[in-house]
């Protein structure tokens, strides 16, 4: 098992965000109106969610704006293993990655205030990276052959990176602006995984344990013979961290032609987490009574403080739009996220020796390699303000205070084959979106819906055979959201 297994899973979670969202663990769906247009909003950026999509856009907002957006995700994440331990009962539709959490809510809040004709101040609270995954309930009373086969590579995970971002935007001229936001980033992690995998090759811990149980016998052979007699272990870990980040944007508008150009960058953030790790073991195990009293599993794996470090990638966006396309606005964004920053990751355990100086099963540092690749997303959207009597009969009651929109997203996954598993059941995907806004006075209500179809992905990595994460991953998700915008003071009509 060993510390290597522990580190493997904890490390994955320390970097991951949601198997549900785009690009491994990035959350790109943080504005109801923008997402109705497929997220192609960097060059439009004309509501308060511009703080997320392109903060330069708030320079053109009049008066004071408050905006609250909420997103709910309902997904089906299925894994059908290509191999499983002898006697394992695999569900007919595979193992589910959404046990006990069928809906995942995510909210964001934005505010802007025009200081004068040139300067605008804004604030955003949002979550650009997050993870929620659960492939097993891990009920110790369940027969072992019914449990999720990949539990030694991860079971439950939750990670949230909250950005609290004050932003200042300035008009450089009547048709261009710049903005900079400096963020306080708070990160929270929870993880659960199994360890003491009987199929793992012995490491330093396994060989030391073999020498204690069968002194004088080749430790590698001894460990392989008795590893199946050990109980199964469970790791639970929780940690938090705080770090700085920034976001900047540029927006150019050409009134004569209706073309806009938007540029946005969100910085990479290095997260330093501190927290606690707790270990527990199933009852039984034929070998347990033969362990030395001063080297029981509970003593070899003591509850302790942990530290972890990982980097969430920078985001770069370029977008163009035109608001004179047959009475509609069309927009296109290209988003690049440098997930290559998530190449390797160190994790530190506080306790590596006991009070007598004997080595424990937790190492001082483990450094793991993930070798993610950069991801890119193509967003395409259209928005139409509906004139009176426009469209089908059911829509003819809509007025010029109503807008409808649609969009498409192509999302190229950064997760390479060797890293696909319960914490990264990720694949390249296609999404289709639709939305509408109804405006009454200075209040707007926006709704959107998104269908996200992951390409089926089959993995076959020899190094992953003993943790049984090879197989077919079949995923899709429904996303629905709503937004409320309140506009105070003088507004453009």
Residue 203, token pair as written in the block: 């490491």
CB atoms within 10 A of CB 392: 6
Helix H or strand E segment including 172: strand 156-173
- Rounded to whole angstroms, how far apart are CA atoms 425 and 458? 10
- Rounded to whole angstroms, how far apart are CA atoms 377 and 479? 17
Residue 14, CA distances (Å) to 17, 112, 154, 184, 306 in order: 9, 33, 12, 18, 12
Task: List all residues 6 or more positions away from 244 whose beta carbon is below 8 Å from its beta carbon.
Answer: 182, 183, 184, 185, 269
Q: What is the pLDDT along the chain (493 residues), one digit of tens a residue?
A: 444 443 333 343 333 334 344 567 888 888 899 999 999 999 999 999 999 999 999 999 999 999 999 888 877 888 999 999 888 889 888 888 765 555 667 889 999 999 999 999 999 999 998 877 788 765 666 677 888 899 888 888 787 899 999 999 999 999 999 999 999 999 988 888 888 888 888 777 778 777 777 787 887 887 777 777 888 888 888 899 999 999 999 999 998 899 999 999 999 999 999 999 999 888 777 777 767 777 788 888 999 999 988 899 999 999 999 998 888 999 999 999 999 988 877 778 999 888 888 888 888 887 767 889 999 999 999 999 876 545 555 444 555 689 999 999 999 999 999 989 888 888 999 999 999 999 888 899 999 999 999 999 999 999 999 999 999 999 888 889 999 998 886 655 4
The pLDDT, as a whole number, for residue 76 is: 81
DSSP 352-413: -B-TTS-B-SS-S-EEEE-----EEEEEEEEEEEPPTT-SSGGGTT--TTEEEEEEEEEEE-
Listed residue (336, 335, 179) closest to 250, CA to CA: 179
Residue 317, token pair as written in the block: 């966006």
Residue 329, CA distances (Å) to 9, 52, 260, 383 in order: 45, 20, 10, 5
The pLDDT, as a whole number, for residue 264 is: 98
Residue 428, token pair as written in the block: 């390249």
Exposed, middle or buried, 19 (CB in 10 Å: 0-12/13-18/19+)? buried
The pLDDT, as a whole number, for residue 80 is: 93
- Rounded to whole angstroms, how far apart are CA atoms 170 and 122? 11
Is-contact 264 316, C-beta < 8 A? yes
- Rounded to whole angstroms, how far apart are CA atoms 225 and 461? 25
The pLDDT, as a whole number, for residue 138 is: 56
This prediction's pTM: 0.87
Is-contact 479 434, C-beta < 8 A? no
Task: List all residues 6 or more positions away from 412 whose beta carbon is below 8 Å from its beta carbon.
Answer: 23, 375, 376, 377, 428
Helix H or strand E segment including 30: none
The arrangement of secondary structure in 2-196+231-488, i.e. its CATH architecture, is: Beta Barrel (2.40)
- Rounded to whole angstroms, how far apart are CA atoms 185 and 177? 25
DSSP 91-148: -TT-EESBTT-S-EEEEEEEEEEE-SSSEEEEEEEEEEEEEEEES----TTS-GGGS-
CA dihedral over 126, 429, 383, 334, signed as positive or negative: positive
Place of tokens 């993880």: 191
Listed residue (491, 322, 434) closest to 33, CA to CA: 434
């Amino acid at each position: 098992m060993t510390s290597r297994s522990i580190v493997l899973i904890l490390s994955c979670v320390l970097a991951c965000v949601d198997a549900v969202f785009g690009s491994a663990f990035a959350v790109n769906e943080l504005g109801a109106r923008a997402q109705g247009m497929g997220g192609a909003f960097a060059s439009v950026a004309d509501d308060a969610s511009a703080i997320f999509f392109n903060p330069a856009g708030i320079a053109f907002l009049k008066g004071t704006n408050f905006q609250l957006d909420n997103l709910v995700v309902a997904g089906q994440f299925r894994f059908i293993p290509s191999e499983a331990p002898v006697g394992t009962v695999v569900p007919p539709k595979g193992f589910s990655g959404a046990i006990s959490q069928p809906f995942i809510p995510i909210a964001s809040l934005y505010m802007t205030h025009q200081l004068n004709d040139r300067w605008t101040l804004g604030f955003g609270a949002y979550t650009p990276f997050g993870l929620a995954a659960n492939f097993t309930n891990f009920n110790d009373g369940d027969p072992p052959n019914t449990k999720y086969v990949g539990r030694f590579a991860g079971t439950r995970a939750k990670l949230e990176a909250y950005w609290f971002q004050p932003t200042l935007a300035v008009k450089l001229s009547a048709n261009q602006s710049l903005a900079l936001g400096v963020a306080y980033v708070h990160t929270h992690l929870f993880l659960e995984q199994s360890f003491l995998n009987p199929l793992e090759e012995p490491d330093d811990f396994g060989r030391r344990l073999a020498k204690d149980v069968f002194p004088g016998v080749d430790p590698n052979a001894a460990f392989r013979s008795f590893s199946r007699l050990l109980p199964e272990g469970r790791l639970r870990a929780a940690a938090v961290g705080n770090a700085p980040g920034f976001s900047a944007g540029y927006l150019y508008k050409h009134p004569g032609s209706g073309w806009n150009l938007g540029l946005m960058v969100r910085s990479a953030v290095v997260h330093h987490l501190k927290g606690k790790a707790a270990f527990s073991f199933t009852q039984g195990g034929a070998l347990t009574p033969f362990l030395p009293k001063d080297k029981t599993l509970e003593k070899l794996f003591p509850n302790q403080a942990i530290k972890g470090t990982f980097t969430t990638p920078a985001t770069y966006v370029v977008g163009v739009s035109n608001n004179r396309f047959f009475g509609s606005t069309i927009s296109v964004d290209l988003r690049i996220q440098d997930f290559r920053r998530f190449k390797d990751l160190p994790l530190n355990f506080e306790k590596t020796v006991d009070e007598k100086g004997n080595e424990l099963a937790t190492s001082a540092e483990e450094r793991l390699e993930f070798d993610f690749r950069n991801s890119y997303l193509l967003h395409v959207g259209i928005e139409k303000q509906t004139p009176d009597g426009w469209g089908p009969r059911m829509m003819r009651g809509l007025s010029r205070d109503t807008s409808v929109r649609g969009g498409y997203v192509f999302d190229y996954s950064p997760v390479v084959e060797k890293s696909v598993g319960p914490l990264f059941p990720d694949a390249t995907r296609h999404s289709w979106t639709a939305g509408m806004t109804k405006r009454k006075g200075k209040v707007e209500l926006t709704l959107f819906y998104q269908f996200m179809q992951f390409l089926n992905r089959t993995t076959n990595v020899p190094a992953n055979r003993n943790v049984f994460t090879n197989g077919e991953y079949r995923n899709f998700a429904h996303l629905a959201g709503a937004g409320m915008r309140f506009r105070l003071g003088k507004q453009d009509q």
